[in-house]
Amino acid sequence: MTQATSWLAIPADSDFSFQNLPYGIFSTAASEEKRVGVAIGTWIIDLAEAARLGLFHDWEARYAEAKLVFRQITLNAFIALGAAAHQALRQRLRQLLTEPEAGLRAGAEEVLVEQAAATLHLPVQIGDYTDFYSSQEHATNVGKLFRPDNPLLPNWKYLPVAYHGRASSIVVSGTPIRRPWGQVLSGEATVPVFEPTQALDFELELGFIIGKESRLGVPVPAAEAENYIFGLVLFNDWSARDIQRWEYQPLGPFLSKNFASSISPWVVPLAALEPFRVPGPVQDPAPLPYLQTTGALNFDLQLTVEIITSQSTPAVVTRTNARYLYWNIRQQVAHHTVTGCNLRVGDLLATGTISGGEGPDAHGCLLELTEGGRKPLQLPTGAARTYLLDGDEVVMRGWARTENSRVGFGEVRGKIVPSAYENP
């Protein structure tokens, strides 16, 4: 296949290749208004400015609601235009990037912004956030710690277990993460104490952004589910394991995860990941009919987690791949809506922690990597961690690779800062 290439120089190792074209919200010191951009190499295409220059004139004429969608503080209005509009804009962007005479090159000074000079913001106004639990390796490893006799519960292989998460505290990559206080029951105690968590963990996840409303009362069949997906993000669902252990029965995690989750600033369109589809694990027992899917529905996305501390050399502690996920996105959407629950543009469906692979580092959270805090993780130059300390920074990365280019998410980064208040 001949690869179309751009007149714009794109570094070969960039996550933001010509095949990617992810969407985000950005601002600059010179122009503080938030607006929609597309990442390409080390640049951002300022779509609001490009529209002002008339580069999307034909596209705007075709979609009634398209006017001003790029001058919004979130992607929601753009997402709501629908798949045909997204596909047409993607084609136009490829044309602008390959045909120097199409107008982008002439307007480059106004339209191209250096990523290094931009501030990235939360890309989507998230309505509801649902977190699945779709990695068999993760569910088994965690189950062993919380329920040694009964790690994978009987329902796990019949339905994609999930719970509702907190949307208000989802923050963009780079936002500092404040160590939460909470109730903890220590050792043999019968009365909890109130203290800053001593078991602050990351969770490596992918998230799917809903691109189309579904109607209340009307399930979305698995075969149609991907029509409801706009794109993917990388996601860190920070967790306080000691708080979780004490609070989670019988209604699930609440405070142990409501203090913050971090999202990548760039939303990668589903179209960019088409070349990287792979079959998921064999599902045995066979799912019930409404959950049955066929074909290559997982994504071959390499995922890493790096920990940066002041006492060690930055170290990649997790290496895994999204291909290991047991339940795929079609099954998650079909299950979520089978009761008639409606989806809205901007909802987030996350995979749950992703683990899987061969190495000792094939675990997507410290709970697994340290076997529940019993086996400290050795970092280069002698430092060790069970859970995260104040000042530690966690950097997640995710990408797919072809011979010619990468399609990736950039980073999701968050640094732990001390709790700002005293015990009341």
Residues between 165 and 194 with contacts to a second copy, criterion CB under 8 A: 165-169, 171, 178, 180-183, 185, 190-192, 194
Closest distance of CB 72 from a second copy, Å: 17
Specify the residue for token string 């708080």.
243
Q: Any binding-site annotation on 387?
A: no
Choose between 213 and 300: whose C-beta lies nearer to a second copy.
213
Q: Any binding-site annotation on 205?
A: yes
Catalytically annotated residue among 57, 86, 138, 164? 138
DSSP 293: -
Choose between 179 and 397: whose C-beta lies nearer to a second copy.
179
Q: Any binding-site annotation on 237?
A: yes
Closest distance of CB 219 from a second copy, Å: 7
Choose between 290 and 402: whose C-beta lies nearer to a second copy.
290
152: which residues sit within 8 A by CB, 6+ positions away? 136, 139, 140, 143
Q: Any binding-site annotation on 257?
A: yes
Q: Any binding-site annotation on 114?
A: no
Asked if 380 is part of the footprint of a second copy (rule: CB under 8 A), the reply reads: no
Asked if 153 is part of the footprint of a second copy (rule: CB under 8 A), the reply reads: yes
**Is-contact 351 135, C-beta < 8 A?**
yes
Residues 276-335 interacting with a second copy (rule: CB under 8 A): 285, 288-290, 335
Q: Any binding-site annotation on 67?
A: no
Residues 343-372 interacting with a second copy (rule: CB under 8 A): 343-344, 347
Half-sphere exposure of 334 (CA within 13 A, CB side): 20
Closest distance of CB 276 from a second copy, Å: 29
Closest distance of CB 168 from a second copy, Å: 5
Closest distance of CB 226 from a second copy, Å: 17
Q: Is 138 a catalytic residue?
A: yes
Distance CA 307, CA 395 (A): 6
Asked if 200 is part of the footprint of a second copy (rule: CB under 8 A), the reply reads: no
> Which residue among 54, 217, 295, 391 contacts a second copy (CB under 8 A)?
217
**Is-contact 395 409, C-beta < 8 A?**
no
Q: Any binding-site annotation on 353?
A: yes
Question: What is the number of residues in the chain?
Answer: 424
Distance CA 291, CA 202 (A): 29
> Which residue among 53, 88, 159, 271 contacts a second copy (CB under 8 A)?
159
Choose between 124 and 272: whose C-beta lies nearer to a second copy.
124
Name the E strands within 14-169. 23-28, 35-40, 43-46, 112-114, 118-121, 129-132, 162-165
Asked if 162 is part of the footprint of a second copy (rule: CB under 8 A), the reply reads: yes
> Which residue among 9, 12, 64, 420 contacts a second copy (CB under 8 A)?
420
334: which residues sit within 8 A by CB, 6+ positions away? 219, 220, 221, 222, 225, 290, 291
Written as one letter, the residue type at 152 is L
Residues 220-259 interacting with a second copy (rule: CB under 8 A): 221, 240, 243, 246-255, 258-259
Phi, psi at residue 255, to the nearest 5°?
Answer: -65, -25
Asked if 219 is part of the footprint of a second copy (rule: CB under 8 A), the reply reads: yes
Asked if 143 is part of the footprint of a second copy (rule: CB under 8 A), the reply reads: yes
Q: How far apart are the first and last CA of the chain?
A: 64
Report residue 409 as tokens.
Answer: 């998410």
Cα dist from 416 to 135, 147, 178, 194, whole Å:
26, 29, 6, 19
Asked if 98 is part of the footprint of a second copy (rule: CB under 8 A), the reply reads: no
Choose between 59 and 146: whose C-beta lies nearer to a second copy.
146
Helix (H, G, I), strand (E, B) or coil at 142: helix
Which H/E stretch holds residue 182? strand 181-184
Report residue 207 as tokens.
Answer: 């998230």
Burial of 89 (0-12, 13-18, 19+ CB in 10 A): buried
- Binding-site residues for Mg(2+), in ranges, read 237, 257, 261
Active site residues: 138
- Binding-site residues for substrate, in ranges, read 133, 147, 244, 248, 353
